Structures are given as structure tokens and as C-alpha cells.
Amino acid sequence: MKKIIEEKGQNIPENGLPNPEEEIIAAASCHGKYVLVHFWSAVDQNSRIVNPVLAEVYQKYKNKGFEIYQVSVDKDRSRWLDAIEKDKLVWTNVGDMEGSIQPVMYYNIRSVPYNYLLDKEGAIVAQNLSGPAIERALSLVLR
């Protein structure tokens, strides 16, 4: 994130986004864990294909200090909520239903799905992990 902050000249925002229950949750609430900050859309087929992989690694590593902070770039709340339910996304899922523009800009997201794996201190240890690469990265840091 340091490089992103230097490139953008801004700090990563501490303010959060609303979850499905409309509680504001910040990524910083996961501090002290390895966190996959994952950007996605309920209407994007590639995003939906990744969700079962995320579910599998979440079940395997959630008790070892791993959390997912999934940021929706959707604008349709009902489709977002439907995808969360159908894909069984039981981790932190947030989105403002306006494209989550601020986090997208701060994290320099150009397409979805896209993610950053952060260590316990919030430093980036990997980015844009997909498929088996997510499992490999987590197996190295969460033994």
C-alpha cells in the first residue's frame, strides 16, 4: 500500500463502507489478521467464479488469523444481496451501491475481480491473486 499511497499522494481511507445490515465497517477493523481486500461485482461473471474459491480458503484459514474484506462495486443493492446469499459469502462484505468509488480510487482498482493480501500490520504481501494462487499465498503465511 505504501507504493499506492506514494503514487496517489493519499492515505488509505480509515472510513468504511456499509455492510448488508448498513453498519459501517472499515478494513482497519480486521487489523491483526491477514486480510484479503477483494473487489468484486455481483453482476460480473469472473467475480462470481472466484467466490467459491474464496469460500474454500476462508473456511480453511479463518481460524488461523485470516479475514476477507470484500468490497462491492455494484450499484444494484438487490443483486448484491442476492449474490451474497447465493454464493454463501459469510465474511465481511461491504459496498455503498454507488460503485464504492473512493476505495476503488485509493486502492487503484482498474478491473474486478482484484485483490490485495495484507499482513497483520496492513502491508501488502501479494496482489491480484486468483484460483490456486490464493491458497498458495495463504499456506505460506498461515501455517
**Average pLDDT of 74-85?**
98
Whole-angstrom distance, CA of residue 93 vs CA of residue 71: 6
CATH topology of domain 2-8+19-141: Glutaredoxin (3.40.30)
Q: Over 60: is that where the pLDDT of 52 sits?
A: yes
More confident site: 115 or 6: 115
Beta strand segments in 26-65, E: 34-40
Rounded to 10 deg, the angle between the 45-61 and 132-141 helix axes is 30
- Across the chain, mean pLDDT equals 89
β-pairing, 92-94 with 66-72?
A: parallel
- Grid coordinates representing 126 are 501479494
More confident site: 56 or 28: 56
Q: What is the pLDDT of residue 31?
A: 84
Write out the DSSP string of 81-133. HHHHHHTT--SEEE--SS--HHHHHHTT--SSSEEEEE-TTS-EEEES--THH
Instruction: Give the whole-number percent of the chain exceeding pLDDT 90.
Output: 71
Q: Over 80: is that where the pLDDT of 12 sits?
A: no
pTM: 0.89
